[in-house]
Amino acid sequence: MEYRVIERFKDLQDNDRIYEVGDVYQGPKSKKRIAELSGDENKIGKPLIEKVNEKSDKKPDKKASE
């Protein structure tokens, strides 16, 4: 699962790494940590990351009109 940074922050649990908006989150990915960073239960008080929806390479099937 990949998470994208939506608010600049310093990750205190990842050697004080600075994450900029648009970065891929590389830090600890426990359920608790992801919930903390994607919700408002953190020191900044707002979501800092969001889950990236994986896009499918498949194109919609078109039915041939015959």
Dump pLDDT digits (tens) for 4-40: 999 999 999 999 999 999 999 999 999 999 999 999 9
Judge whether 1 and 29 are in contact, CB under 8 Å.
yes
Q: Which class for 23: exposed (0-12), middle (13-18), buried (19 or more C-beta within 10 A)?
A: middle
Q: Considering only residues 65 and 42, tell me which one the structure prediction assigns the higher pLDDT.
A: 42
pLDDT at 53: 86
Instruction: Using DSSP, state whether 18 is helix, strand or coil.
Output: strand
The model's pTM: 0.76
